[in-house]
Amino acid sequence: MEKVKILGIVGSPRKRGNTAKMMDKAFEAIGDYPWVETDRFEVAGKKIGHCISCYKCMEKLQCVIKDGLYEFHEKFVAADALLWSVPVYHMSVPSQVKALLDRFGNMMIMHHLAQGMDVPRFSKVCGVLTNGASRYGGQDLTLSFLVNSSLVTKGVVVAGDTLVDSYIGAAAWAGQMPNPLAEDNVLQDEHGIACAQNVAKRVAEMARIVKAGKAALGDELPSEYSYTWEAKE
């Protein structure tokens, strides 16, 4: 079987900050799985505009704003699984992540509905990680947002194990003193990192199961499980 492709999506506008390091640690845990291949999409440094509600995506599966959404779409399509690592911003996700998901989600929903189809059954296995500067700063809400977003985009959401405190994903605290905003504080939260590593393993294992299942079932599956998209001007 082909390797299982896991796309790590780092949703922080700060390059090489806590969110990126939490993803590094999560990927480290699956680094010795010979059947896994990883890729990344980083929000940092990308232009990601807001949805302007023009609904042009109903006609063509494209957004009128040509920016980082295209790279995201291509990487999303190529992946078997998505692992999100996102910082808490104002009790939720950063606006760049919200803008990306507003546009991606609406494009997928409105385009397919306008064409008389349902949203493709992408069945990407999804796991979610977050970190915040406060110990109780909205991590649960941020994880919930990402879980719900994964469901909307027809994902198969997994958590880690309850024994390592992963109820719906991994939450870490990155606000340690003396500098609660330092870029690698998250590494001090060993429990949060262990939880992130556990979620990454579950994502990889479940993605392997889903990929093998799809391959075994082949044409027996409804066509909604197949989806191809090519970037067009």
Of 39, 47, 66, 134, the residue at the interface with ligand FMN (CB under 6 A) is 134
169 binds ligand FMN (CB under 6 A): no
Structure-block tokens of residue 76: 């999303």
Structure-block tokens of residue 215: 């391959």
Q: Which is nearer to ligand FMN, 12 or 166 (CB)?
A: 12
Q: Which is nearer to ligand FMN, 87 or 169 (CB)?
A: 87
Alpha helices by DSSP H, listed for the chain, are 18-29, 68-78, 95-114, 139-152, 190-217
Q: Which is nearer to ligand FMN, 18 or 123 (CB)?
A: 18
96 binds ligand FMN (CB under 6 A): no
What x-and-dash track marks residues 17-56 binding ligand FMN by CB under 6 A?
Answer: xxx-------------------------------------
141 binds ligand FMN (CB under 6 A): no
133 binds ligand FMN (CB under 6 A): yes
In the chain, what are the helix, strand and coil shares in percent, each to the nearest 5? Answer: 45, 15, 40
Q: Which is nearer to ligand FMN, 4 or 194 (CB)?
A: 194
Question: Which range of residues in 51-59, 67-75, 111-119, 134-142 is near ligand FMN by CB under 6 A?
Answer: 134-142
67, 69, 201 from 46: Cα distances, Å: 8, 9, 28
Q: Hey, CA dihedral for 64, 227, 86, 107, is it positive or negative?
A: positive
Question: Which range of residues in 86-94, 98-106, 187-195, 200-208 is near ligand FMN by CB under 6 A?
Answer: 86-94
Q: CB of 77: closest distance to ligand FMN in angstroms?
A: 26
Amino acid making up residue 30: I
Give the burial class of 222: count Cβ atoms within 10 A of its Cβ; 0-12 exposed, 13-18 middle, 19 or more buried.
Answer: exposed
State the Cα–Cα distance between residues 214 and 227, nearest whole angstrom.
13
Place of tokens 């790590």: 8
Amino acid making up residue 71: E
Q: CB of 175: closest distance to ligand FMN in angstroms?
A: 7
Q: Does 178 sit behind a cis peptide bond, omega within 30 degrees of 0 on the bond before it?
A: yes
State the Cα–Cα distance between residues 100 and 108, nearest whole angstrom.
12
Span 189-218, contacts to ligand FMN by CB under 6 A:
none
90 binds ligand FMN (CB under 6 A): yes
Q: How many residues bind ligand FMN (CB under 6 A)?
A: 19
Binding region for ligand FMN (CB under 6 A): 12, 14, 17-19, 87-91, 131-134, 137-138, 174, 181, 183
